Structure 1
């Protein structure tokens, strides 16, 4: 059977999950072109890979011409961003704006990483930002939007995040205790999240907007 050739664009391709996703898509026969938007070039290379080095505020609708699947793997921390305004530029404003560009250019599917606990009405600032982002992208006129809510992401980061490293160690110790209803709180490898995003993109979604929690993501093979 002849494969349907697809094109993808990834925002946040240098991050923990995005860097894994780049490799999965480039090595998958269904994708003939994979474009990444990064602030600086990454070490990985592939014949299918097209790199656009630019800041998030330099992205335009022209970057989304001819794209089938838009993968948004953007994510920061308050410590790294330095302020709420800078944090929201990455985790709220950029995903929404790029989603609008994708909508304008007829992109078929937006797949975005959010976070467990995302809720626009949350008292927790981080969860409130993520929940607001989810609400806004869900309202876009895109054929399909898939939202991924992983628990604590594990994997080898280029940057050292002390708090997340301690959290990862604690999660590894406590993981056997997270059973039944608590299973969704287990840490999850970024590589598995990236793989799940690709698999969902290649399936024909049954719903316009779908949300995948960490337990569901872990079960996607």
Structure 2
């Protein structure tokens, strides 16, 4: 399998990259990033400060079999709602459309528990909208992973999320399984397994299945 991985420098994405590169079922990982990744014989790493500028070449030049999207940020890190939307909505949809037009029929993406296009709140509404619009593209196999809080060491600091993670760890013994922390490695396994299986239809993987 030749896999396009979006978000390879993030928490879930970096775990997915390591897993894919170690898999005998994956012959190549195409991972466009803003900063260079550590070289690997199976890794193709186009680097561009604006990922959208890589869109035409990535979609048409690498004979892809599947897309995994682990892109994600916060409004605090992005700086504005518009910048957040670019990462969490525009890029996943744009690469999805381009890959599908090039013949790719398998797509797996990380969104979030509680995603809903009808939500009154900006974050879950954005996640719900990206789910809705990727479903509309028409992939034969689409998997949507909806984790709770994602556990693991991040390169950047997310203060609000860090506080929530500490609280969630304290409450783990009494929290329902769906609200417990999802290790980034578990999400990575779910994403890669979905891409490799390419099961027809649209499938959701909830947080309780990624603990």
TM-score higher than 0.5 here? yes
| Residue of structure 1 equivalent to 2:152 | 155
- Taking the TM superposition and a 5 Å limit, the aligned residue runs for 1:175-190 are 175-178=172-175, 182-190=176-184
Q: Pick the aligned partner of 2:23 from 18, 23, 28.
A: 28
TM value normalised by structure 1: 0.91
Instruction: Please list every run of 5 or more consecutive structure 1 residues that lacks an aligned counterpart in the other structure.
Output: 1-5
Instruction: Please list every run of 5 or more consecutive structure 2 residues that lacks an aligned counterpart in the other structure.
Output: none
| Residue of structure 1 equivalent to 2:171 | 174
Are residue 216 (structure 1) and residue 209 (structure 2) matched? yes
Shift of 1:128: 0.3
Q: Which has the bigger relative contact order, CA under 8 A and spacing at least 6?
A: 2
Q: Pick the aligned partner of 1:111 from 108, 118, 129.
A: 108
Shift of 1:141: 2.0
| Residue of structure 1 equivalent to 2:45 | 51
- Taking the TM superposition and a 5 Å limit, the aligned residue runs for 1:1-221 are 6-42=1-37, 44-54=38-48, 55-65=50-60, 66-178=63-175, 182-205=176-199, 207-218=200-211
Give the conservation status (yes or no) of the 8 Å contact 2:33–2:46. Answer: yes
Structure 1 segments (4+ residues) deviating >2 Å? none
Give the conservation status (yes or no) of the 8 Å contact 1:61–1:102. Answer: no
When residues 173 and 201 of structure 1 are mapped into structure 2, their CA distance, relative to the original with a 3 A threshold, is: same
Following the alignment from structure 1 to structure 2, what is the Cα–Cα distance between the partners of residues 59 and 72?
15
Q: How many residues align?
A: 208
Give the conservation status (yes or no) of the 8 Å contact 1:61–1:105. Answer: no
TM value normalised by structure 2: 0.95
| Residue of structure 2 equivalent to 1:3 | none
